[in-house]
Structure 1
Amino acid sequence: MTERRDDERPEDTVTDRLDRHGEQRPEVDAEARSEVSLVIVTGVSGGGRSTVARALENVGFYVVDNLPQALMVDMAELAFAAGGPATRQTAMVLDVRSRAFSTDLPGAVQALRDKGFHPSVVFVDADDEVLIRRFESVRRSHPLQGDGRLEEGIAAERKLLEEAREQADVIIDTSHLNVNQLRRRVEELFGGEDARRLRVTVLSFGFKYGLPPDADFVLDARFLPNPYWVPELREFTGRDESVSSYVLGQDGALDFVGSYAGLIAATASGFEREGKRYLTVAIGCTGGKHRSVAISEELATRLREARLSANAQHRDLGRE
């Protein structure tokens, strides 16, 4: 059995003393730990914690659900030790149903602050009448209800979470919010503008290889003359200037691109409001080498000019 050194505090965690390679590491100042973005989510059952967790995942947080409070400091230290963007934004969701849940959430948060972290505590709440309707709609009992009434379970939980609510940095009342509105609220708080923006992928493909299964829109560029039948263009692709000029110079080509660019730009804000973050516009031609590639590149350029986040990808380029 390994003996503890006299100068080693019993409360030290493994991640306090060891680096990722299992070697002793020097003490790290609090300023470095403060760079880890920590969000602690708790609140009443039925209030919308799971929706908050999914919204945080959407804006790049690594979410740990149903984490015992005793492991909060360890989880924060692991997020810090990882050192990469995947865990530098970490959210911990605490559930009253966990056997490891304690009423001393403020104490646990203070322990994080003592280590140099700066956690934000989000408390999700809703009116009792709303919670009752939600539980009845899904025909579930309250986790603290036991053999009693639903109202008694809600009251018991409120008593348990009373101090946590008082100490919260942000209280989100979901009584009058639908799922999309709650998600937008979380994204406004923690996502930043870039995380909420719609990202458009313009994907060229060849119909001979099948439709892209993840496409939101499928456009057909086969109404344009095929450069394949022009001997001097056959070996080039839609990325080459000669093929691109040929395709975009055909009657209707630029109108085709402009119409769909306008359509996507006009609907982008609506997709963002409804929580869609990724849109795939698939443009096909026969082999996915000439027409669809040139049109995809031009459409992506037009969308960027409209201040949308867009990039062109080419699924079947090089398959012929």
Structure 2
Amino acid sequence: MGGIPPARADELLARARGGDGEAFRGLVEPYRRELHVHCYRILGSVQDAEDLVQETLLAAWRGIGGYEERASVRTWLYRIATNRCLNALRAGSRRPPEHPAYHPEVPLPEPSHRRGEPSWLEPYPEVLLEDVADDVPGPEARHETRESISLAFLAALQQLPPRQRAVLVLRDVLGFRAAEVADILDTTENAVTSALTRARGALSREVPVRESAPLPDSPRERRIVADFVRAFESGDVDAVIALLTDDAWLTMPPLPLVYQGLDDVRHFLATVALRPGRRHRLIPTRANGQPAFACYVRDPRTPILRAHGVLVLTLTGDRITAVTRFVDNSLLAAFGFPRSLRA
């Protein structure tokens, strides 16, 4: 049972059924982090994932007496968590407004097009992935842990209908068997197979096949990231553009604006992000298995750096294929950063 020796798990289960809260925590705690990632994949929000994990564990505690051991504790918890997530999506109450108030300091140029991606998608701090082992997925998983937490994968996943989304995550990310997924979702294996086929087809259209990104913290990744930081902090638009692929994207969730291609990205950087007199400081972190930064803007009137969101890079080969700046400054707290710094 997820690293708990069987005899120990049986003992904890018996004590938990007798009302021992400490035993219950010992039984479910090994699965908390992976359940959090699971809820995040389905919901796209770190805070919503935290809320749903809390709801899942509370429901498990209240229902421990009815746990019949037909499936492992891990599978039982995934059943509760998945259905809680689907209920939340059906309720629609966990999504923020599509266009929250945002007041740019200068007018934003006309975008290449308007994004159809979900506005509620948030970056996932790398520190929350540290205790989720790479060998958690079952033998039928088709996606590696690193790929299945990337921003491109998550954005495409959010486009799927909720039930297809859950089926694809359970089957292709976590590697549950079709019969297990049918039990989790209280449906038939045929329905699971049909939903999975449709989800795979939709996902393949949304996620382009690209050259692999450099390995995390590899010399190649460090070089690209260092070049980007140097160019961005110095306000060198040409140097930033030189690091991008020809079809690179620049987006700013939750704003639905997309700037794609070198000309449009260059124009945005030159007139908005890196306009004359504006300087940034980027503090490295990681999000969704990708290089990321806590972004701050220098205040020319005071020795203060003001929060300017979380910036995430998507790499392919030796180039950057997407620059995503999440404009909500409250996201910095999840990465352990303050709203302001002294210059």
TM-score for both structures, normalised by structure 2: 0.22
Larger relative contact order, structure 1 or 2 (CA cutoff 8 Å, min sep 6)? 1
| Greater Rg over alpha carbons, structure | 1
Task: Select the structure that is richer in helix.
Answer: 2
